[in-house]
């Protein structure tokens, strides 16, 4: 009877697509005779927003450097546009922004006239062109938990991470770490196997002070490095093995009030709808003046080049998604295009959103843990591949994506 019941449960698990592994945690004696729980490794995907690969070489990141020394790391090419939401969604779906539908931090869709997607939008309509790894995990019986990530609060047909918190920028990095450690203290059956963690402070400092060495930028970098070190130490103390995947969404380049393209010099602002401006330009003509707007923007401009959506160069991998605005302009790295110059823009700052192949836009990647060999720096790869790595480490059977395990294959332990 018991045996039959067990078989039924096993068959049920296999049918549900759960990985073939024990669902109970074995305990065994260690040398001191105490019961020690043998914990299954957890996969923790950490985003350090706006962390440039060269920040690792500034002598202020001992914890990240220690992880790099035991794993793999290097610069990673973001997807276009090199903005926060498009690339965070790429990291967890394995698809380019053109394919996953988060084509900008702000965007429109002809199916929802008058509506604008903003970073606080949680309506699944905007997000469900691709499935994030935590949803696939949950569907396969792998418990997930998100300590923030763009899109992590979105309901996918009733499925969400088992644990998630509404985004709150004011929640200190310290408390974000404490929450994760608390999750990992739980009994095995309600302990997450896949966790995401998001740090915004390095990006914020980069925007305010620029990416060059400065006391304030370096304080932000050092603080995040310290938190990651504290997280690792606390999980080590628990006996919790961790496969870390640490990534950024894009790099950062210096901007200046001396490098501004003034939109009002190109066309009066009441002649078109501004969807997004700054490090690139996304506009929609009004209903009756498409020809005039095209004539004004598609002609040559200094430090900026514009195209109809259909003619955006193939190398950017952008323009097949109907959410890409009908006129799109790439801005020369380090320049900004604006209607009004914000008050705070009085000196050197930082920005991103430019050509994703520009060295300054390169994102950062690091992975370390029991599943990863100490192979050191990897050749540059595209960020669509991170999804495959996270899925493999967490035991998730991945859905179709634009990436693969190829960049990491030789560095994975069997």
List, by residue number, the catalytic residues: 84
Binding piece for Zn ion, criterion CB under 5 A, among 59-67, 77-85, 166-174, 341-349: 77-85
Cα pseudo-dihedral 359, 360, 363, 365, rounded to 10: 70
Which residues, 130 to 189, sit near Zn ion by CB under 5 A?
none
For the bound state, the minimum distance from the C-beta of residue 84 to Zn ion, rounded and expressed in Å, comes to 3
In the bound state, the residue with its beta carbon closest to Zn ion is 84
**Per-position b or e across 292-317, b if 16+ CB within 10 A of its CB:** ebeebbeeebeebbbbebeebeeebb
Distance separating alpha carbons of residues 288 and 391, to the nearest angstrom: 48
For the bound state, the minimum distance from the C-beta of residue 374 to Zn ion, rounded and expressed in Å, comes to 29
Residue whose CB is less far from Zn ion, 62 or 342 = 342
One residue of 223, 225, 249, 360 binding Zn ion per CB under 5 A: 249
Distance separating alpha carbons of residues 76 and 56, to the nearest angstrom: 13
For the bound state, the minimum distance from the C-beta of residue 91 to Zn ion, rounded and expressed in Å, comes to 11
Residue whose CB is less far from Zn ion, 49 or 163 = 49
For the bound state, the minimum distance from the C-beta of residue 206 to Zn ion, rounded and expressed in Å, comes to 9
Distance separating alpha carbons of residues 46 and 199, to the nearest angstrom: 8
Dihedral-angle region of residue 341 (phi above 0 means left; psi in -120 to 50 means alpha; beta otherwise): beta
Binding piece for Zn ion, criterion CB under 5 A, among 109-117, 167-175, 245-253, 269-277: 245-253
- What distances in angstroms separate CA 13 from CA 2, 9, 143, one per listed residue? 17, 6, 14
Binding piece for Zn ion, criterion CB under 5 A, among 40-48, 198-206, 227-235, 330-338: 198-206
Residue whose CB is less far from Zn ion, 218 or 352 = 352
Beta strands of 165-238 (E only): which ranges?
Answer: 194-199
Token couple for 315: 């190398």
Residue whose CB is less far from Zn ion, 78 or 403 = 78
Pairing of strands 363-368, 72-77: antiparallel
User: Is position 49 an interface residue for Zn ion (rule: CB under 5 A)?
Assistant: yes
Binding piece for Zn ion, criterion CB under 5 A, among 12-20, 37-45, 202-210, 355-363: 202-210
Residue whose CB is less far from Zn ion, 249 or 402 = 249
One residue of 61, 79, 82, 84 binding Zn ion per CB under 5 A: 84
Token couple for 78: 């973001």
205 CB-near residues (< 8 Å, 6+ apart): 216, 217, 219, 220, 221
Distance separating alpha carbons of residues 347 and 298, to the nearest angstrom: 30
Residue whose CB is less far from Zn ion, 209 or 297 = 209
Binding piece for Zn ion, criterion CB under 5 A, among 59-67, 241-249, 284-292, 321-329: 241-249
For the bound state, the minimum distance from the C-beta of residue 203 to Zn ion, rounded and expressed in Å, comes to 5
For the bound state, the minimum distance from the C-beta of residue 249 to Zn ion, rounded and expressed in Å, comes to 4
Total residues at interface with Zn ion (CB under 5 A)? 5
- What distances in angstroms separate CA 222 from CA 59, 193, 214, 228, 229, one per listed residue? 9, 28, 12, 10, 10
Q: Could you list the residues that contact Zn ion (CB under 5 A)? A: 49-50, 84, 203, 249
């Amino acid at each position: 009877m018991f045996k039959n019941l067990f078989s039924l449960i096993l068959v049920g698990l296999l049918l549900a697509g759960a990985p073939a592994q024990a669902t109970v945690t074995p305990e065994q004696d260690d040398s001191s005779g105490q019961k020690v729980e043998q914990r299954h490794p957890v996969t923790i995907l950490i985003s350090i927003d706006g962390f440039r690969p060269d920040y690792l070489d500034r002598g202020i990141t001992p914890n990240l450097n220690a992880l790099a020394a035991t794993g793999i790391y290097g610069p990673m090419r973001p997807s276009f546009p090199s903005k926060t939401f498009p690339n965070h969604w790429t990291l967890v779906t394995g698809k380019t922004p053109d394919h996953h539908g988060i084509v900008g931090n702000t965007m429109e869709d002809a199916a929802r006239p008058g509506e604008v997607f903003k970073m606080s939008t949680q309506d699944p309509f905007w997000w469900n062109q691709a499935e994030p790894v935590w949803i696939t995990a949950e569907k396969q019986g792998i418990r997930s938990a998100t300590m923030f990530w763009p899109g992590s609060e979105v309901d996918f047909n009733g499925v969400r991470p088992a644990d998630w918190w509404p985004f709150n920028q004011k929640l200190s990095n310290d408390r974000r770490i404490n929450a994760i450690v608390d999750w990992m203290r739980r009994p095995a059956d309600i302990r997450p196997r896949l966790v995401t963690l998001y740090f915004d402070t390095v990006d914020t400092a980069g925007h305010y002070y620029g990416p060059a060495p400065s006391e304030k930028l370096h304080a932000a970098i050092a603080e995040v490095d310290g938190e990651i070190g504290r997280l690792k130490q606390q999980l080590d103390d628990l006996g919790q093995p961790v496969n870390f995947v640490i990534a950024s969404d894009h790099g950062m380049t210096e901007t200046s009030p001396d490098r501004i393209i003034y939109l009002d010099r190109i066309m009066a602002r009441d002649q078109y709808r501004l969807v997004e401006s700054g490090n690139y330009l996304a506009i929609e003509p009004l209903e009756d003046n498409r020809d005039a707007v095209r004539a004004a923007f598609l002609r040559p401009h200094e430090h900026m080049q514009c195209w109809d959506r259909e003619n955006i160069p193939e190398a950017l991998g952008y323009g097949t998604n109907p959410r890409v605005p009908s006129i799109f302009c790439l801005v020369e790295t380090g320049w900004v295009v604006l209607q009004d110059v914000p008050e705070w823009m009085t000196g050197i700052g930082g920005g991103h959103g430019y050509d994703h192949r520009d060295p300054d836009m390169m994102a950062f990647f690091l992975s370390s843990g029991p599943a990863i060999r100490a192979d050191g720096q990897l050749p540059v790869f595209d960020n669509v591949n991170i999804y495959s790595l996270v899925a493999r480490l967490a035991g998730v059977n991945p859905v179709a994506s634009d990436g693969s395990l190829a960049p990491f294959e030789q560095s994975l332990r069997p």
